[in-house]
Amino acid sequence: MKFGRHTLLWILGGVVLGALTGGTFPAAGGKVGFLGEVFLNFLTMLAVPLVVTSMIVGVTNLGDLRKLGRMGWQTIAYYMATTGISVAIGIILVNMIRPGEGLTAVAQGQVQRGEFSLAQVVVGFVPKNIFKAMAETKILPLIVFSLLFGGALSATGGRGRIVVEFFRGANEALMKLVGLVMYFAPLGVFGLVAERLGKAGGWEEFGPELGKVLNYSLTVLVGLTLHGVVVLPFILWAVGRRNVSSYASNLSPALATAFSTASSSATLPVTIECVVRRNEVSEEVAGFVLPLGATINMDGTALYEAVAAIFISQVYNIPLSPVQQIVVFITATLASIGAAGIPQAGLVTMVMVLKAVDLPLEGIAMLLSVDWFLDRFRTTVNVWGDSVGSAVLERLRSGEVEDEVS
Ligand code: ASP
């Protein structure tokens, strides 16, 4: 099911109207929040089964396990490369703008002192119980299970065919549901944006909060804009060979959903719908690349983590040597891979970056009041990055198929 131009405009209108309502009448924002919750519930309801079915369909469509292996490595290499570019942009900007200079650290809230280590991330890949992972909307272990299961199904030959058909049918039905849910999206995004801005006290209260760390916020936003509007579109055009404006406009429902939910995982059903149905990327590529991207490819998050860490070093007047900045580069990349596709997950994994270069964790407190706001922008870039990735990997794969044929 394709939704027309009007639906797109309605969705974007919902975001704008939500910002106006919540910003001007914070109390009204709380009253319409239930609309957002209904939308979010629908999306999360679809995301879990969709990850399983789209991954299994993707993997079994690829057929040969060697092809899957090749695509897996290409996807991971591509994601790492684009995340690396994004972090580099952040590090260069924060060193140029130096938003933390002249600020004094003031604790503005409680810092979550969660432990976060790489070992934990790796253990988290393997589900102990797939139903528990589903119940807790843990996407990464579900991806691992679906990949293995899809691979095993391909290896069974004829016997597994009926199971593959089952998942294909289920996947199609779920996609139809996503199409239906999108009709509710304008109201949903309206409710989500209005409620969040209302909770922050509208423009009147949030404005001054933003003002306190304005330069930091601007550094993050300029970095995200450079990556999202210059780097990724260039890759889409040069490597993916796509018309950037039509690809982006077809994707706008997913981008607006990412902005209003601040969750790559909740947005996943809409991302798949826009990439497969509207931008005509094949199911086998999108089914594999997008769920993986929603959890491990977070260009926006990586950029923000690097900027935030170096900002904290500037505020506390702890200069970082070039080697330490390289450590920030590496750990911010890893922390973005480890962050779940849920609101403000980056804030938790940032502990890893700060610890790696011995920066005070208290520094995070300064960023808390604006984090929900920046989260929306970085999640939008995260989803855009995944979607550009699917066009690029589709192109690489079709190049290989052509080579095989000739
Ligand atoms: N909210 C982001 C996402 O879902 C993660 C983060 O940066 O906190 O993509």
302 or 109: which carries more pLDDT confidence? 302
- 273 backbone dihedrals φ, ψ, rounded to 5°: -55, -50
Residues 6 or more apart whose Cβ sits within 8 Å of residue 248: 233, 255, 384
Predicted pLDDT at 114: 53
pLDDT at 113 exceeding the cut of 60 = no
Tokens of residue 135, six digits: 């119940």
Mean pLDDT for all residues in the chain: 90
- Report the nearest atom of ligand 1 relative to the CA of 378: 7
pLDDT at 181 exceeding the cut of 80 = yes
Q: Quick one: angle between helices 161-181 and 26-62, nearest 10?
A: 160
Protein residue with least CA distance to atom 1, ligand 1: 343
Q: pTM of the entire structure?
A: 0.90
Tokens of residue 162, six digits: 């009926």
- Does the Cβ of 376 fall within 6 Å of ligand 1? no
Tokens of residue 404, six digits: 């095989």
Tokens of residue 369, six digits: 């009041």
Q: What pLDDT band is residue 348 in, cutting at 50, 70 and 90?
A: confident
Predicted pLDDT at 69: 85
- Report the nearest atom of ligand 1 relative to the CA of 266: 4
Predicted pLDDT at 406: 58
- At 223-238, the pLDDT tens digits run 999 999 999 999 999 9
pLDDT at 293 exceeding the cut of 60 = yes
- Report the nearest atom of ligand 1 relative to the CA of 382: 9
Predicted pLDDT at 95: 96
- Measuring CA to CA, how many Å separate 317 from each of 103, 107, 386? 10, 16, 36
**339: CA distance to ligand 1 center in Å?**
7
**183: CA distance to ligand 1 center in Å?**
25
pLDDT at 159 exceeding the cut of 90 = no
- Does the Cβ of 266 fall within 6 Å of ligand 1? no
Q: Residue 115 is which amino acid?
A: E
Average pLDDT, stretch 389-402?
85
**342: CA distance to ligand 1 center in Å?**
5
Question: Are 312 and 359 contacting, i.e. CB atoms less than 8 angstroms apart?
Answer: yes
**Domains along the chain with CATH numbers:** 5-405 (1.10.3860)
pLDDT at 306 exceeding the cut of 60 = yes
User: How many angstroms separate the CA atoms of 305 and 9, rounded?
Assistant: 32
**246: CA distance to ligand 1 center in Å?**
25
- At 30-82, the pLDDT tens digits run 899 999 999 999 999 999 999 999 999 988 888 777 888 888 899 999 999 99
- Does the Cβ of 341 fall within 6 Å of ligand 1? yes
Among 109-118, 256-265, 276-285, 378-387, where is mean pLDDT lowest? 109-118
Give the rounded percent of residues in the chain with a pLDDT score beyond 70.
94
Predicted pLDDT at 1: 44
- At 370-381, the pLDDT tens digits run 999 999 999 999
Residue 353's nearest CA partner among 317, 303, 391 is: 303
- Does the Cβ of 342 fall within 6 Å of ligand 1? yes
Predicted pLDDT at 336: 92
Residues 6 or more apart whose Cβ sits within 8 Å of residue 333: 80, 83, 84, 87, 302
Residues 6 or more apart whose Cβ sits within 8 Å of residue 361: 111, 113, 351, 354, 355
- Does the Cβ of 264 fall within 6 Å of ligand 1? yes
pLDDT at 256 exceeding the cut of 80 = yes
